[in-house]
A and B are shown apart, each in its own frame.
Chain A
Amino acid sequence: MARLVDIAAAFLALSSAIALYGLKHDTRRIESRVQAQERTAEKTEREIAVLKAERAYLGRPERIEKLARAQGMEPVRERQYVRIDGSRDDGIARILDKPDIDALPSDDAEAPQSAEPGPR
């Protein structure tokens, strides 16, 4: 009986040693994977930083201004502002009156006018 216990204990000791070894091995493998991923993350972060700097460089105002002016754009002028509560003719007022999608002014000339035109 004692002999059987000895054998079982030896077997258990051996198998747990093997299991432990396997676990340790796995842990190291996972650790190295974590490290690799951390390195990748850091590298990606660095690359993102470079891209952000590049975007900021491309978006610097003096460059954008040249491009915008070449497109015929210029700073907003005072007369380009439209008062929402001003003229009732200007479409914007109608959107405000009736926030209904059907009532939105359409580019299509044939589109029906707003059901409730309001005072003109």
Chain B
Amino acid sequence: MTATAISSQPRQRPEATPQARGRLLPVALAMMLLFAAIGGQMLNLAFAGRNEARLASAEPIVRVHARPDIVDRNGRIIATDVDAASLFADPALLLDLDEVIEKLTLALPLLDEAELRKSLGDRNRRFAWIKRGMAPVEAQRVHDLGLPGLAFRREPKRVYPTGALTGHIVGQVNVDNRGQAGLERYIDETMGLDAVSGATASRLKQVRLSLDLGVQHSVADELKSAMTRYTATAAAGLVLDIRSGEILAAVSLPSVDSNRPAEVLDPSRPERLQGGVYELGSIFKMLTVAMALEEGRATLEKTYDVTKPIEIGRFTIKDAHPSPVPLSVRDIFLQSSNVGAGLLALEGGTERQLMFLARLGLTEQMRTETGTVAPPLLPKRWDRIETVTISYGHGLAVAPMQFASAAAALLNGGYRVTPTYIATETPILGKATREAIREAILMPATSAAMREIMRLNVTSRNGTGHRADVTGYRVGGKTGTAEMPGENGYQRRSVISSFAGAFPMDEPRYLTLISLFEPQPTAETRNQITAAVNAAPVTARIVTRIAPILGILPRRLDGADAKAD
């Protein structure tokens, strides 16, 4: 009704009553306030909202990986991520391609101009990397060019403060911060990484290695000076905790620096402790003697006639300085008689020898966290003659790391240890439980006898290892000089001289294995190249330096003092 009434009449502006005017005013005011608020907010967005707007801009979607830190057993940093600038371009925004390329190649001389032209020339692309992981000074230089279309992105970059000291062990990463070799690869495979889209620090727990940087440096330093002193082509050395299998030091010279990926791939700088297999020579007599003792065939006192050479087919095995009298097992070890070792091995037979070496893990491929150990090179046929040559360390080539693992069992009371680069955390199990579940592979008596003769080899005047002695630290060990195979059989003047040592010998804790490759005769060594004159004294120098770091207390006179440690 009302609607009809209104529409039927011509529209008239009603007179505003004072009452209506009073109502309009607050409405108008409210509207004004509302518009003012909207205006204010627009201004606020226009000025204050800039940061958020920029954050949302088109950042390249590239995944990089934040890696956990690697530290030594005392928490000292070996590898860590730092923030680095990476340069990229949006080719569509580049004003003058030639100018950009000219200026960039001037600022960063290592850039490949042709490559750069190819990647930046494509106007359809919106993103192209130019250089990743730049040094701050390089980034500043490019920034100062002020070229539009170029921008930086912060990314984590892996750095290795200890450089060449740990290069062979930690390996390297690629440009996306993914592990390529060594422990870096192990981290990728076992722990995974944080995928991040910027230079975010990794939330992953740091990886604590068994290495002790102090020990590692001492070994590296002594090996370096030994290489110079004896003009050796290479050297390798490791220190192993024979109870836990933790590797305290693993050095292979020439070293590589993980900060320089090209070095890691350089074939002239191989990792020798587990990357190569070698005939290690007379240090294998440790195994031969242990085998005879373990099987109860011999005691340290049993004598063998070593006065005559061993003849098998067309081969004759003889000693360099044949003994005029029969020798006991103890003396065979001390004088390092090849004939004696051969007789001990022949007495047991080929099959027993193979089984014994297999029990010590010397016939199967082994692996550590840095990768697989080069598999042992077994003889094609294993007969009487091979049994004899293997008894003194020829004919079976193994990686030094693998030998160290076997030697540890000879000294630690006879149980298996697996070498590891990762620090053993505080064990959950008690000492008694751990001792009960460990895998015994030798009788404790065999191990005790091995300790005795290895110590005797250093203290005795007849022993080949007497130059390894260090006052107070009770070193024991065995020398080994192995001729290296050449094109025409073994080369007399090219040898690997090694010393497998342990200390303190009354309760051995650490095993050292030192190998010098092709050492040359010097006046100091009286023109000799055997391990007794080079590898043994190097071991003594190393023990002098590392024993205090490892907390081994010296004893003034062997056995004279009561428990000192």
Contacts and interface: CB of A to CB of B under 8 A. Distances in A.
B217 A49 contact: no
A78 B82 contact: no
Interface string B508-536: 00000000000000000000000000000
A45 interface: yes
B161 A60 contact: yes
A interface secondary structure, majority: helix
Contacts of A81: 553-554
B225 interface: no
A56 interface: yes
Of all A-B residue pairs in the complex, the 10 with the closest CB atoms, nearest first, are A61-B217, A56-B161, A78-B472, A56-B77, A78-B554, A57-B161, A46-B83, A76-B548, A75-B545, A50-B82
Contact of A60 (B83, B165, B471, B548): B165
Contacts of A75: 218, 544-545, 548
Contacts, number: 71
A46 B201 contact: yes
Given A49-B80, A61-B216, A81-B554, 6 more contacts: A45-B201, A49-B82, A49-B201, A50-B82, A52-B77, A62-B165
B556 to A, nearest CB: 8
Contacts of A55: 77
Nearest to B200: A42
A53 B80 contact: yes
A32 interface: yes
Interface string B195-212: 000011100000000000
Contacts of A56: 76-78, 80, 161-162
A49 B554 contact: no
Interface of B: 30, 37, 51-52, 76-78, 80-83, 154, 159, 161-163, 165, 199-201, 213-214, 216-218, 221, 470-473, 544-545, 548, 553-554, 556, 564
A32 B52 CA distance: 8
Contacts of B81: 49
Given A46-B201, A81-B553, A65 B37 contact: no
A56 B162 CA distance: 7
Nearest to B564: A83
Contacts of A50: 82-83
B51 A60 contact: no
Contacts of A65: 217, 221
A78 B473 contact: yes
Contacts of B216: 61
A21 B162 contact: no
Interface residues of A, number: 26
Interface string A13-26: 01000000100000
A61 B554 contact: no
A110 B179 CA distance: 65
A21 B37 contact: yes
A45 B80 CA distance: 13
B159 A53 contact: yes
B482 to A, nearest CB: 31
Contacts of A46: 82-83, 154, 199, 201
B162 to A, nearest CB: 5
A59 interface: yes
Interface in A55-105: 55-57, 59-62, 65, 75-78, 81, 83
Nearest to B545: A75
A48 to B, nearest CB: 8
A74 to B, nearest CB: 9
A61 B165 contact: yes
A53 B161 contact: yes
Contacts of B218: 61, 75
Contacts of B52: 32
Interface in A1-48: 14, 21, 32, 42, 45-47
A75 B549 CA distance: 9
A62 B554 contact: no
Nearest to B201: A45
A61 B68 CA distance: 22
B502 to A, nearest CB: 18
